[in-house]
A = this chain, B = another copy of it.
């Protein structure tokens, strides 16, 4: 096998209360990446999308992650990447994680799964670090493992894949710019022990809900008393989207990653579509361009489309 085409899913990190530790993979949207293994060293990147991302491998997140892998790999091989990005950068849907994860997982398929998933997360983090200025894996892990993942620790890396609830996910991406680094700078450096305790109670409830497939418990636990209140000002419409979606039967939801996308869970497909309608109405009224997605949790993560 010398050539592979893969789809790399968008991801929702944080999951409201689980700042920096939780994430899940979506079925849709996905980036498409074609990787061809070369007998000579070198990384060659072509983008066939509209986002104007750098193709120089030392500036491109896929290139940086892939280089981290190649620095570790014993034989001198190279890769030619053709990337069709569909997850818009800066959407809060793990666009940079998809770029970094796709490159290393695709290369690893061609290297006969030489590396473990954990090792791939380590390589991909080298790319992610460039995007956000901080080493983190809450989008990378669900992208590489699929489903819902917990990052218990980064040093040493400790990733816990957990059962995915059977839920629909409706996402709205209001097309405003919220940079991950800015969204991080707006956060408080210190918080009260009281709020922290409320937060870890909800994190505990959410994990218990995932393992016991207790949807009402998942809903009750999707409360963030620390991060979302600080970031709410960056995302016009957030409170209204949450309120209206809950009124129309959503299980719960909130900011996806550092925003501006907002995700909402629902148990029934018809509710997921009703919620989308609410989101569309709100951003139409606000005069903000938007995109919406109605999808489910992706238990597999990156998928192979074709190989030769």
Contact surface of A with B, Cβ cutoff 8 Å: 17-22, 150-153, 158, 160, 162, 187-193, 196-197, 199-205, 207-208, 211-212, 217, 220-221, 226
Query: How close is A108's CB to chain B, nearest CB, in angstroms?
Result: 25
A191 touches B193 (CB 8 A): yes
* Contact call B189/A150, Cβ cutoff below 8 A: no
Known contacts A153-B205, A158-B220, A190-B190; 17 additional CB pairs below 8 A are: A17-B200, A19-B197, A20-B201, A21-B204, A22-B204, A150-B204, A152-B208, A152-B220, A152-B221, A160-B204, A160-B208, A188-B193, A196-B200, A199-B200, A200-B203, A207-B207, A207-B208
Q: What are 8 A-B pairs with beta-carbon distances under 8 A? A: A19-B197, A19-B200, A150-B201, A151-B201, A152-B202, A152-B217, A153-B205, A203-B204
Contacts of A19 in B (CB 8 A): 197, 200
The CA of A137 and the CA of B25, in the complex, are separated in Å by 36
Copies of this chain: 2
Chain B residues with CB below 8 A from A212, complex form: 162, 211
How distant is the Cα of A158 from the Cα of B18 in the complex, in angstroms?
A: 19
Chain B nearest CB from A92 CB (Å) reads 18
Q: Which residue of B lies closest to A207 (CB)?
A: B207
Picked from B158, B193, B211, the residue with its CB within 8 Å of the CB of A205 is: B158
Known: A150-B205, A158-B205, A208-B160. A191 touches B196 (CB 8 A): yes
Query: Which listed residue, B162, B189, B202, touches A193 by the CB 8 Å rule?
Result: B189
Contact B204 A152 (CB under 8 A): yes
Q: Of B21, B189, B221, which contacts A192 at CB under 8 A? A: B189
A163 to chain B, nearest CB (A): 9
Contacts A18-B204, A201-B151, A208-B150; A192 near B193 (Cβ below 8 A): no
CA distance A52 to B176 in the complex (A): 67
Q: Which 10 A-B pairs have the closest CB atoms?
A: A211-B211, A152-B205, A200-B200, A196-B196, A207-B207, A200-B203, A21-B201, A190-B190, A20-B197, A204-B207
| Nearest CB of chain B from residue A286's CB, rounded to whole Å | 30
A151 proximity list for chain B (CB < 8 A): 201
Determine if B187 and A193 form an interchain contact, defined as CB atoms under 8 angstroms apart: yes
Chain B residue contacts of A191, Cβ below 8 A: 190-193, 196
How far, in angstroms, from A208 to B160 measured CA to CA in the complex?
A: 8
Instruction: Tell me the smallest distance from the CB of A233 to a CB of chain B, in Å.
Output: 17
Q: Check if B21 sits within 8 Å of A217, measured CB to CB.
A: no
Q: Which residues on the B side are within 8 Å of A160 (C-beta)? A: 204-205, 208, 217
User: CB within 8 A of A226: which of B152, B162, B189, B193?
Assistant: B193
A230 CB, min distance to chain B CBs, angstroms: 10
Query: What is the chain B residue whose CB lies nearest that of A198?
Result: B153
